[in-house]
Structure 1
Amino acid sequence: MSGEFPLVCEENNNKKERCKEALEFIENVTEKAGEVQGQVLSAILTTNGDTEYLKRHGLNRTSDREAFKKCLPLISYEDIEPDIQRIVNGDTSPILSAHPVIELIISSGTSSGQQKLLPINQEDLERRIFFESLRMPAMSQYVEGLEKGKAMQFFFMRPEVKTPGGLMAHAVLVSIYKSRQFREARYYNEYTSPIETVLCTDSYQSMYSQLLCGLIQSPLVLTVGTAFALGLIKVMHFLQKHWTQLCLDIETGSLNKDIIDTSVRQAMINILHPNPGLAQLIRSECSGGSWQGIIGRLWPNTKYVSVIMTGTMAQYIPSLEYYAGELPLVSSVYCSSECSAGINLNPLCKPSEVSYTLLPNMAYFEFLPLQRNGDKQEQELVDLVDVKLGQEYELVVTTFSGLYRYKLGDVLLVTGFHNKAPHFHFVCRRNVLLSIDSDKTDERELQSAMENALKHLELNGGKLIDYTSYADTSSIPGHYVLFWEVCFSTKVIPEHLNSVLEESCIIVEESLNPVYRICRGFDKSVGPLEIRVVEGGTFDQLMDYAIERGASINQYKTPRCIKSTSVLELLNSRASVHVLHLTFGTRVEIWTCEAEKLILVDCQIGGCHIQLQTIVIVVKMVELCTQKY
Structure 2
Amino acid sequence: MILRFSGQGQGPGCLVVQSCRKGGATAQCTNDSEAGMKLLEDLTENANQVQQKVLEEILTQNVHTQYLRGFLHGCTDKELFKKKVPIVNYEDMKPYIERIANGEPSEIISAQPITELLTSSGTSGGQPKMMPSTAEDLERKTFFYNILVPVMNEYVDGLDQGKGMYLLFIKPEISTPAGLMARPVLTSYYKSNNFRNRPFNRFNVYTSPDETILCPDSKQSMYCQLLCGLVQRDEVLRVGAVFASAFLRAIKFLEDYWIELCSNIRTGHVSDWITDPGSRNAVSLILRRPNSDLANLIELECSGKSWEGIIKKLWPRTKYIEVIVTGSMAQYIQTLEFYSGGIPLVSTMYASSECYFGINLKPLSKPSDVSYTLLPNMAFFEFLPLEKNHDRMTYEVQCNGISDPTCRENEDDRLESEAVDLANVKVGHLYELVVTTFTGLYRYRVGDILMVTGFHNNAPQFRFVQRRNVVLSIDTDKTNEEDLLNAVAQAKLIIEPHGFLLTEYTSYADTSSMPGHYVLFWELKMRGSNDLPEVELEVVTMEKCCSTIEESLDSVYRRCRKKDKSIGPLEIRLVKHGTFDALMDYCVSQGSSVNQYKTPRCIKSEEAIQILNSRVVGRFFSKKDPSWEPFKIGAK
What TM-score results when the alignment is normalised by the length of structure 1?
0.74
Between the aligned partners of 1:368 and 1:63, the Cα distance in structure 2 is 23
1:317 matched residue in structure 2: 333
The Cα of 1:485 is off from its aligned counterpart by 5.2
Indicate how the Cα distance of structure 1 residues 589 and 368 shifts in structure 2: closer, same or farther if over 3 A, else same: closer
**C-alpha contact 1:108 1:552 (8 A) present in aligned 2:** no
| Structure 2 counterparts to residues 452-463 of structure 1, below 5 A | none
Between the aligned partners of 2:34 and 2:543, the Cα distance in structure 1 is 51
The Cα of 1:109 is off from its aligned counterpart by 2.5
**C-alpha contact 2:132 2:439 (8 A) present in aligned 1:** yes
The Cα of 1:128 is off from its aligned counterpart by 1.1
The Cα of 1:62 is off from its aligned counterpart by 2.6
1:3 matched residue in structure 2: 3
Is 1:55 the counterpart of 2:69? The answer is yes
| SS of residue paired to 1:578 | strand
Q: How many residues align?
A: 519
Between the aligned partners of 1:589 and 1:122, the Cα distance in structure 2 is 55
Is 1:482 the counterpart of 2:507? The answer is yes
Deviations 1:9-42 (Å, cap 9, x if unpaired)?
7588x99961222111111111000000011011
The Cα of 1:304 is off from its aligned counterpart by 0.3
The Cα of 1:126 is off from its aligned counterpart by 1.0
Is 1:156 the counterpart of 2:169? The answer is yes
Indicate how the Cα distance of structure 1 residues 426 and 583 shifts in structure 2: closer, same or farther if over 3 A, else same: closer
**C-alpha contact 1:398 1:405 (8 A) present in aligned 2:** yes
2:39 matched residue in structure 1: 25
Is 1:291 the counterpart of 2:307? The answer is yes
Q: Which moved more, 1:391-400 or 1:469-478?
A: 469-478
Indicate how the Cα distance of structure 1 residues 557 and 127 shifts in structure 2: closer, same or farther if over 3 A, else same: farther
Deviations 1:274-319 (Å, cap 9, x if unpaired)?
1110000000000002111111100000000000011111111111
Q: Percent identity?
A: 46
2:22 matched residue in structure 1: none
Deviations 1:552-598 (Å, cap 9, x if unpaired)?
9999997xxxxxxxx9xx73xx54x4224625888867878999987
* Selected match of 1:389 from 427, 441, 452: 427
Amino acid of the structure 1 residue aligned with 2:84: C
Between the aligned partners of 1:203 and 1:355, the Cα distance in structure 2 is 32
Deviations 1:488-511 (Å, cap 9, x if unpaired)?
9xxxxxxxxxxxx99x999xxxxx
Between the aligned partners of 1:386 and 1:39, the Cα distance in structure 2 is 16
Indicate how the Cα distance of structure 1 residues 313 and 592 shifts in structure 2: closer, same or farther if over 3 A, else same: closer
* Selected match of 2:452 from 414, 419, 443: 414
Indicate how the Cα distance of structure 1 residues 579 and 184 shifts in structure 2: closer, same or farther if over 3 A, else same: same
What TM-score results when the alignment is normalised by the length of structure 2?
0.73
Is 1:306 the counterpart of 2:344? The answer is no
| Structure 2 counterparts to residues 129-208 of structure 1, below 5 A | 129-185=142-198, 188-208=203-223
* Selected match of 1:250 from 260, 265, 269: 265
Between the aligned partners of 2:588 and 2:11, the Cα distance in structure 1 is 63
* Selected match of 2:281 from 257, 262, 266: 266
Deviations 1:110-157 (Å, cap 9, x if unpaired)?
697431111101111210121011222111111001111100011101
Amino acid of the structure 1 residue aligned with 2:272: K
**C-alpha contact 2:350 2:357 (8 A) present in aligned 1:** yes
Task: Structure 2 unaligned segments of length 5 or more: list them.
Answer: 15-27, 391-403, 514-518, 524-531, 533-538, 598-636
| SS of residue paired to 2:172 | coil
Amino acid of the structure 2 residue aligned with 1:283: E
Indicate how the Cα distance of structure 1 residues 425 and 240 shifts in structure 2: closer, same or farther if over 3 A, else same: same
1:579 matched residue in structure 2: 575
Between the aligned partners of 2:305 and 2:244, the Cα distance in structure 1 is 23
Indicate how the Cα distance of structure 1 residues 5 and 249 shifts in structure 2: closer, same or farther if over 3 A, else same: same
Is 1:38 the counterpart of 2:60? The answer is no
| Structure 2 counterparts to residues 201-600 of structure 1, below 5 A | 201-272=216-287, 273-370=289-386, 371=388, 372=390, 373=404, 374-375=406-407, 377=414, 378-432=416-470, 470-471=484-485, 472=488, 474=492, 479-482=504-507, 546=555, 571=570, 575=572, 577-580=573-576, 582=578
1:493 matched residue in structure 2: none
Q: Which moved more, 1:85-94 or 1:64-73?
A: 85-94
Indicate how the Cα distance of structure 1 residues 534 and 211 shifts in structure 2: closer, same or farther if over 3 A, else same: farther
Between the aligned partners of 1:596 and 1:254, the Cα distance in structure 2 is 61
Amino acid of the structure 2 residue aligned with 1:49: V
**C-alpha contact 1:158 1:552 (8 A) present in aligned 2:** no
Between the aligned partners of 1:550 and 1:55, the Cα distance in structure 2 is 39
**C-alpha contact 1:411 1:426 (8 A) present in aligned 2:** yes
* Selected match of 1:104 from 117, 126, 141: 117
Write out the 4+ residue segments of structure 1 that deviate beyond 4 Å after TM superposition: 5-12, 14-17, 466-478, 483-488, 532-535, 544-558, 583-599
